[in-house]
Structure 1
Amino acid sequence: MTEQSGPKQLVEYAVSAERVGFDFEVSSDHFSPWLSSQGHAPNAWTMLGAVAHATNTVELFTYVTCPTMRYHPAIVAQQAATLQILADGRFTLGVGSGENLNEHVVGKGWPTVARRLDMLQEAIHVIRELFTGEMVDWRGEYFEVDSARLWDVPDVPVQIAAAVSGDRSVDAFARVADHLIAVQPDKDVVDAWHEARKGTGLSSDVRVIGQLPISWDPDRDTAVARAHDQFRWFAGGWAVNADLPTTAGFAGATQFVTPDDTASAIPCGPDLDAIVDAVREYEAAGFTDIALVQVGDEGQARFLEEAAEPLLAKLRG
């Protein structure tokens, strides 16, 4: 989470995560943290370039980038192609329709959900056209591209994973993205995604990538307090989270979320089996991959040193 740590720390954690045996690593792409207490928001693409250079085997994802407002899709295409080259084919472009928190900073307002989905569909089309390495001219409803060409195109094509949360986003992206990203273990969403792709001739080799925040610490009270301080925004749900524009808004929206509320939503403490149980919900819903988010910067290194390897052994078991 780029909202939890500075850029140098994130690169260090990425290297450590590869060393202890994680298969892939994901990065949020924010201009602002959710809560002021998180205290960070470095540029994800710069950081990922450093991670690509400092690691050798882990796959890398943006999780997720909004290629419609803060970034023009042509710029995202260039960033993704360059990162894929630096990562020797280990990168997947995760995209989503964005959050007001990050996108409002460029002063273009905040579109409705339906418009944001349409914008993302068009952006994906533009990005794919540019990935061909051919000259692209495009004038759509939302974006224009004038005689643009990517001069450095990776040998391994960049795949695209789209963040979805319900029927509308499944309908919008199942046929234009390669893989699915979701933050709740919703089997209906996964089934709908596969059904939408059935009979289209698209690849059936689809990854379904989930996200599970955890707050590991040898002391449960410390873990709960950290999760409440750093991650209580998660309790709002994405319908709320997408629309709030500032950290002050998130502080106000979560002022009545208690530590117990947070602990009921996020596995907290030293119990690795509780994390495994939470992951099982994603497996049962049809997910193929799970991104574990250790909450907070404090305790991150200790988690990687003490808990990560035994947790991975339990999960793979």
Structure 2
Amino acid sequence: MRYGYKASAEQFSPAELLELVQLAEQVGLESAFISDHLQPWRHDGGHAPNAVAWLGMALERTERIVLGTSVLTPTLRYHPAVVAQQFATLGQVHPGRLILGVGTGESLNEQAIGVDFPELKERFARLRESVRLMRRLWTEERVDFEGDYYATSGATIYDRPDAPIPIYVAGGGPATTRYAARFADGHICTSGKGDEYYRDTIVANLEEGLEKEGRDTADVDRMIEIKVSYDRDPDAALHNTRFWAALSLTQEQKHSVHDPLEMQRLADELPIEQVAKRWIVGSDAADVAARIAHYAELGFTHLVFHGPGDDQRRFLEHFSEDVLPLLPR
């Protein structure tokens, strides 16, 4: 079992995040993941640092913690060959400490700079093709690639990592989950959607994909971002979730909005009780630990904790003192 920290790029400045990832390492967490947004979920108080630039700084300021993206979209704003080059550079300097988490993207990040945001079918096809191209660039001398969306001619990454960077695929549907099980090093999903969903959609399709490809269950890291608002003050634990109200909007609402101001307006209309439903909220360490451990019982092997409050130092220190020792190892 591995435990990690979600470095919330939408909520904190790059400098704040650097201090927080250092603290995450100090309190014993083994990984940290930063999201990659051009625009955050809300305008007021929002942030959107570049994930790859930040990873380079964070790797230099830490010693052992594994760092990654959750998630980056190597298909629209970025050409996959450029992403492959960026991660090759980081991976050569810091071998064994990187994970490239990828996903199909959000309109919030693409339309502001005039990039057309296609339907999911095309976005998923682009993602699969980009993964194939990046892996070839990490392992082959000169790459001639002719895909449906991307092409290279005699492309070479001259400073390749000693081993390909692990790729984790984020997705909540059957197709992306089976794809991750067949071709990725890990799968990423998020908490708060009910046991039936995790058993029937995530776990069942992971097992199906593994069997189809003839892979062992240990070949794919089962990562889940757990939304946990733990505070020794129960009222603070509840109200800390407010910044992340956008997560309680429907997928249809989120995918059709590309303006942080509009996303913020929609999110602020939600009552705090609805906002908090997506989170494990509490001040009882044993109860919070038991609810977190349930995800391990469901079959997840890498739990990454996303605390919603503004005082992340308080969250990390209290969570590591009160809750972390109670979790299974």
The aligned counterpart of 1:224 is 238
Q: 1:207 aligns with which of 221, 231, 240?
A: 221
Contact map agreement 1:70 1:105 (CA 8 A) in 2: no
Letter in 2 for 1:90: R
RMSD (Å), alpha carbons: 1.9
For residues 207 and 168 of structure 2, the distance between their equivalents in structure 1, rounded to whole angstroms, comes to: 14
The aligned counterpart of 1:258 is 271
Q: CA deviation at 1:274?
A: 3.6
For residues 180 and 5 of structure 1, the distance between their equivalents in structure 2, rounded to whole angstroms, comes to: 25
Letter in 2 for 1:307: F
Secondary structure of the 2:11 match is coil
Q: 1:196 aligns with which of 189, 202, 209?
A: 209
The aligned counterpart of 1:131 is 138
Secondary structure of the 1:215 match is strand
1:311 paired with 2:318, answer no
The aligned counterpart of 1:167 is 174
Q: When the two structures are aligned, how many residues end up with a matched partner? A: 315
- Deviation digits for residues 197-232 of structure 1 (CA, Å, limit 9, x no counterpart): 21524454211000112223332223322211x111
Q: 1:89 aligns with which of 57, 73, 96?
A: 96
Secondary structure of the 1:151 match is coil
The aligned counterpart of 1:100 is 107
Q: Which runs of 5+ in 2 are unaligned?
A: 1-7
For residues 244 and 278 of structure 1, the distance between their equivalents in structure 2, rounded to whole angstroms, comes to: 32
For residues 268 and 258 of structure 1, the distance between their equivalents in structure 2, rounded to whole angstroms, comes to: 15
1:74 paired with 2:87, answer no
The aligned counterpart of 2:32 is 25
The aligned counterpart of 1:281 is 294
Letter in 2 for 1:124: V
1:301 paired with 2:308, answer no
The aligned counterpart of 2:4 is none
For residues 242 and 90 of structure 1, the distance between their equivalents in structure 2, rounded to whole angstroms, comes to: 32
Contact map agreement 2:190 2:226 (CA 8 A) in 1: yes
For residues 170 and 239 of structure 1, the distance between their equivalents in structure 2, rounded to whole angstroms, comes to: 20
Worse overlay, 177-186 or 5-14: 177-186
For residues 191 and 166 of structure 1, the distance between their equivalents in structure 2, rounded to whole angstroms, comes to: 11
TM-score where L is the length of structure 2: 0.89
Secondary structure of the 2:32 match is strand
1:270 paired with 2:283, answer yes
Q: 1:42 aligns with which of 37, 49, 68?
A: 49
| Identity within the alignment, % | 33
- Deviation digits for residues 109-157 of structure 1 (CA, Å, limit 9, x no counterpart): 1100111111101111111111114211222111122322111111232
Worse overlay, 232-241 or 141-150: 232-241
Contact map agreement 1:133 1:153 (CA 8 A) in 2: no
For residues 284 and 155 of structure 2, the distance between their equivalents in structure 1, rounded to whole angstroms, comes to: 52
The aligned counterpart of 1:8 is 15
Q: Which runs of 5+ in 1 are unaligned?
A: none
Contact map agreement 2:245 2:268 (CA 8 A) in 1: no
Secondary structure of the 1:9 match is helix
Secondary structure of the 1:249 match is helix
